[in-house]
């Protein structure tokens, strides 16, 4: 292995701690610089990694000689702005989901990366863990026969009860579909392949919500996006997925993901986590636990960036790719378009299924 990929982190909010935990354990990446709108948060993050420094601004961070790649942990509305600034400075980019707020922004990121010969990766990387990868191997091995259907449900009352600054979840680029959908759709693409057509419906039950925790508890804020989205996705292989993403459900016992085939069914764990139990039901049999058979063991947020760094060294494609993220974004936006138009719509983009992760 060569020198680690040197990382400049933009945004030191709530999710950054999980990335820092991964950096501490990896020899493939090394955090060298941090910037955040709140200097105290930037300093706190930098202090966790020996040798990391605070950069005064995004403009200062992207031109540093000790930054090879920019980790973009900003709010969705500025994902494209930060990514394009990093690419313009000749840096690779790995960001939180979604890749961008619009197709046009996503296409601009991909075009800038191609022009500069640079890599762009994007969360979620949870699908590289043992949960989704074990399920994928079971499907690829023909354990359930030909896949014919799937269900994917994320039902919650919304993040404002626990997040101290939840407004961005309810602005353009947010909502349950664009916030949580990438986990579920990325998992489904890994297991069943890309989506070719969608139909759906959406609603917004409240125009205003309240912050439920932290120093701003009780503060009202507007809701600018749909908060309950449901649809049907047609995969290229013919399987149909029923999808539900909601911030309007107080409690539910719905399974996260199930995949059904001509010879059996799989219960797939929460794609917002890296591991979890995969259960298999053979036609005419009973539910049984499948042994872990694929994926990165003990993975955490940032595993996709580590995979990108290793891919650069090995000269192979990285798995948490911009191509996958661009397709997932297109599927979500097309589903919202279909809900508004009351029609089934074709998804214009596609992507290659990323290479599976053999047991690590």
Q: Give the pLDDT confidence of 207-239 residue by residue, as tens digits.
A: 999 999 999 999 999 999 999 999 999 999 999
196 burial type by CB count under 10 A (0-12 exposed, 13-18 middle, 19+ buried): middle
Same domain, residue pair 253 and 271: yes
Q: What are phi and psi of 210, to 5 degrees?
A: -120, 140
* Burial of 91 per CB tally in 10 Å (0-12, 13-18, 19+): buried
User: 132 pLDDT exceeds 70?
Assistant: yes
% of the chain beyond a pLDDT of 90: 96
pLDDT at 14: 87
- Does any domain span residue 60? yes
- 21 and 63 both lie in a single domain: yes
Query: What is the tally of structural domains in the chain?
Result: 2
Span 66-77, average pLDDT: 95
In a domain, 269, yes or no: yes
Q: Which of 122, 155, 170 is the last residue in one of the domains?
A: 122
Q: Mean pLDDT over all residues of the chain?
A: 96
Distances (CA, A) of 251 to 154, 155, 248, 254: 11, 7, 9, 9
Q: What is the pLDDT of residue 1?
A: 54
Which residues span the domain enclosing 230?
Answer: 126-299+326-346
Per the domain annotation, does 307 fall within a domain?
no
Under 8 Å between Cβ of 300 and 20: no
pLDDT above 70: percentage of residues in the chain? 99
Q: Which of 75, 98, 122 is the last residue of a domain?
A: 122
Decide if pLDDT at 284 tops 90: no
Is the confidence at residue 321, as pLDDT, over 90? yes
Specify if 197 maps to a domain: yes
Question: Confidence class of residue 297 from pLDDT cuts 50, 70 and 90?
Answer: very high
Domain boundary among 55, 87, 122: 122
pTM reported for the whole predicted model:
0.94
Which residues are CB-contacts of 284 (< 8 A; sequence separation ≥ 6)? none
**What pLDDT was estimated at residue 44?**
97
147-200 pLDDT, tens digit per residue, is 999 999 999 999 999 999 999 999 987 899 999 999 999 999 999 999 999 999
Residue 221 and residue 179 share a domain: yes
Mean pLDDT of the region 42-63: 97
């Amino acid at each position: 292995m060569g020198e680690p990929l040197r990382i400049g982190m933009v945004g030191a909010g709530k999710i950054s701690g999980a990335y820092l935990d991964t950096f501490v354990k990896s020899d493939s990446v090394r955090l060298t610089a941090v910037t955040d709108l709140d200097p105290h948060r930037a300093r706190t993050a930098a202090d966790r990694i020996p040798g990391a420094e605070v950069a005064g601004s995004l403009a200062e961070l992207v031109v540093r000689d000790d930054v090879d790649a920019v980790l973009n942990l900003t709010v969705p509305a500025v994902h494209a702005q930060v990514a394009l600034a990093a690419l313009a400075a000749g840096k690779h980019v790995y960001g939180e989901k979604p890749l961008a707020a619009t197709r046009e922004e996503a296409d601009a990121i991909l075009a800038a990366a191609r022009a500069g010969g640079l890599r762009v990766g994007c969360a979620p990387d949870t699908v590289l863990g043992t949960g989704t990868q074990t399920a994928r191997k079971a499907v690829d091995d023909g354990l359930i026969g030909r896949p014919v259907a799937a269900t994917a449900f994320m039902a919650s009352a919304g993040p404002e009860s626990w997040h101290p600054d939840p407004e961005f979840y309810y602005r353009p680029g947010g909502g349950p579909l664009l916030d949580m959908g990438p986990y579920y759709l990325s998992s489904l693409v890994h297991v069943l392949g890309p989506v070719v057509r969608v139909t759906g419906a959406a609603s917004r039950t409240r125009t205003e919500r309240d912050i439920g925790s932290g120093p701003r508890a009780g503060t009202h804020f507007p809701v600018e996006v749909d908060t309950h989205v449901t649809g049907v996705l047609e995969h290229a292989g013919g399987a149909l997925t029923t999808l539900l993403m909601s911030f309007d459900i107080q409690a539910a016992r719905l399974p996260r993901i199930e995949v059904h085939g001509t010879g059996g069914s799989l219960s797939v764990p929460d794609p917002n986590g890296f591991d979890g139990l995969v259960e298999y039901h053979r036609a005419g049999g009973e539910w049984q636990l499948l042994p872990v058979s694929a994926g990165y063991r003990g993975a955490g947020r940032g595993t996709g960036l580590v995979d990108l760094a290793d891919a650069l060294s090995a000269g192979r494609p990285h798995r948490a790719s911009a191509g996958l993220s661009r397709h997932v974004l297109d599927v979500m936006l097309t589903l919202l378009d279909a809900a508004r138009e009351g029609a089934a719509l074709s998804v214009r983009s596609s992507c290659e299924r990323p290479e599976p992760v053999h047991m690590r």
